């Protein structure tokens, strides 16, 4: 039974007007059989709840807050931009400045287009891929989440190499039939699918480091197989780096694993935590977008001046202070300890990590589903009671920030060890 708190009262009130009491499903805490904690403020590595409780935060808005909450430089940049106007619907210098900063880290992005979310970026990139190749089929992987557009809200079909089925009411079968879902890390399945359908495959979309079923790394040869198949059959390889972008030691997965996609998708990390997304890649592909080409995509708030100002500040700080290296070291310190002190499968890459309630290596969604979800629920509740805020799902990644201190890491280690 849930203890009565201010958060529980606020949730009851929210349920009267907001669908499910939340504006994104995972926030409802249903997968951990609880009710959400309402947050009041954030500073550095900490969140303060409406109940007056402080938490060390490993959610970090699901990834983008590499500098922690309420970074003073980003806050200052947003305030200064807001004083000049919140939206123009016209070009600004900051758009070009941010694009160049992104290109410094992602040289494969010769041209890009800013949008307002990762979902919008993936939806647009898929339309672009279909427009450029004049092909219909899309290949994705079970457990990789790429937003909630119709082409991507699909589930695995009844057998290998079959079309996917709608995974949500409102998604038409005629839409879902053009998407095929294979297990993550299934190189042989990809090769077989291309042999059968390569003539009509517009694109592969993949999280090069999966984060939406927990942190799962690509097996050796997996990303290389995707690249080889796309090159051979003239399909477009799309890396969705919304989650892992700027979270790996080299900045992104394509540098880290030395596999270059045709298009890259980035998310709110490039907006300093504000609503933002982008997709970009080879100029010969991107030039098919309107106003240069016949693939249409537009957005009034794309390149919003507040977002651009926050993003420029964020990426400049990452560049100058070598923050990624510092955060990676903090993460490795915590991960190494957990591997030695717990019976769990700990998987990590860069500044992302997951604690899987199994003793076996996890390589795909089916293997994640074998985890002890009941024990995870108890673990999540235990951590909250110890002042540690982690994602309310076994199927989400944890993140660290430069704001996490040695004291934070020590407290986290002690809290986790106390559970076992």
Please compute, for residue 406, the number of CA atoms within 13 A of its CA located in the half-sphere on the CB side: 0
Phi, psi of 318 (to 5 degrees): -60, -40
pLDDT reported for residue 250: 78
Name the 3-class secondary structure at 338: helix
Q: Which residues pair with 280 in a beta bridge?
A: 112, 264
Pick from 145, 123, 124: nearest CA to 62: 145
**Distance separating alpha carbons of residues 336 and 358, to the nearest angstrom:** 17
Residue among 206, 195, 212 at smallest CA distance from 237:
206
Q: How many CB atoms lie within 10 A of CB 168?
A: 11
Whole-number pLDDT of residue 161: 41
Distance CA 275, CA 277 (A): 7
Contact between residue 320 and residue 103 where contact means Cβ atoms under 8 Å apart:
no
How many angstroms separate the CA atoms of 198 and 175, rounded?
19
The residues carrying an active-site annotation are: 145, 240, 268
CA–CA distance, 19 with 29 (Å, rounded to integer): 14
Q: Are strands 352-356 and 54-57 parallel, antiparallel or unpaired?
A: unpaired
Specify burial of residue 158 (Cβ count, 10 A radius: 0-12, 13-18, 19+).
exposed
Sorted by where each starts, the structural domains of the chain and their CATH numbers stand as 6-58+322-419 (3.90.1150.10), 72-320 (3.40.640.10)
- Beta-carbon contacts of residue 159 (< 8 Å; ≥ 6 apart): none
| Tokens of residue 150, six digits | 């119709």
376: how many CB neighbours lie within 10 A of its CB? Answer: 20
The pLDDT assigned to 164 comes to: 60
pLDDT of residue 315: 95
Query: What are the per-10-residue average pLDDT scores of the chain (420 residues)?
Result: 82 97 93 95 98 98 96 98 96 98 96 97 97 97 90 62 67 84 96 96 98 96 98 98 91 93 96 96 98 96 97 93 84 94 95 95 94 96 98 95 95 96
Q: How crowded is residue 411: how many other Cβ atoms within 10 Å of its Cβ? A: 15
- The answer, yes or no, to whether the previous bond of 291 is cis (omega within 30 of 0) is yes
Give the global pTM.
0.95
Helix H or strand E segment including 206? strand 201-206
Q: What is the DSSP string of 159-174?
A: STTPPPEESSTT--HH
Confidence (pLDDT) at 156: 55
């Amino acid at each position: 039974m849930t203890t009565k708190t201010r958060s529980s009262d606020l949730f009851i009130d929210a349920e009267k007007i907001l669908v499910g009491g939340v504006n994104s499903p995972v926030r409802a805490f249903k997968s951990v059989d609880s009710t959400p904690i309402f947050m009041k403020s954030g500073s550095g590595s900490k969140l303060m709840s409406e109940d007056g409780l402080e938490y060390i935060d490993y959610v970090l808005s699901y990834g983008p807050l590499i500098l922690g909450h309420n970074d003073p430089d980003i806050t200052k940049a947003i305030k200064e931009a807001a004083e000049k106007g919140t939206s123009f619907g016209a070009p600004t210098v900051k758009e070009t400045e941010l694009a160049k900063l992104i290109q410094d880290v992602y040289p494969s992005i010769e041209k890009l287009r800013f949008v307002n979310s990762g979902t919008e970026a993936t939806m647009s990139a898929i339309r672009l891929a279909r427009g450029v190749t004049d092909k219909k089929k899309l290949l994705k992987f079970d457990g990789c989440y790429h937003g909630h557009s119709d082409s991507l809200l699909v589930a695995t079909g009844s057998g290998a190499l079959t079309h996917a089925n709608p995974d949500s009411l409102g998604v038409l079968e005629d839409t879902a039939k053009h998407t095929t879902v294979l297990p993550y890390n299934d190189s042989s399945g990809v090769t077989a699918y291309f042999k059968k359908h390569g003539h009509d495959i517009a694109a592969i979309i993949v999280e090069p480091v999966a984060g939406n079923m927990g942190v799962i790394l690509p097996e050796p040869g997996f990303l290389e197989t995707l690249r080889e198949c796309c090159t051979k059959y003239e399909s477009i390889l799309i890396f969705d780096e919304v989650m892992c972008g700027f979270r790996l030691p080299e900045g992104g997965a394509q540098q880290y694993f030395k596999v270059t996609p045709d298009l890259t998708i980035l998310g709110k990390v490039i907006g300093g935590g504000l609503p933002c997304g982008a997709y970009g890649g080879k100029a010969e592909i991107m030039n098919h977008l309107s106003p240069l080409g016949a693939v249409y995509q537009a957005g009034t708030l794309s390149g919003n001046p507040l977002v651009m100002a926050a993003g420029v500040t964020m990426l400049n700080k990452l560049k100058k202070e070598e923050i990624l290296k510092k955060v990676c070291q903090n993460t490795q310190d915590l991960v190494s300890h957990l591997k030695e002190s717990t019976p769990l499968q700990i998987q990590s890459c860069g500044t992302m990590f997951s604690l899987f309630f199994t003793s076996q290596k996890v390589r795909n969604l089916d293997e994640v589903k074998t985890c002890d979800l009941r024990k995870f629920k108890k673990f999540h509740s235990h951590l909250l009671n110890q002042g540690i805020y982690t994602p309310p799902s076994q199927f989400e990644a944890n993140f660290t920030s430069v704001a996490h201190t040695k004291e934070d890491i020590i407290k986290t280690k002690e809290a986790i060890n106390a559970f076992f």
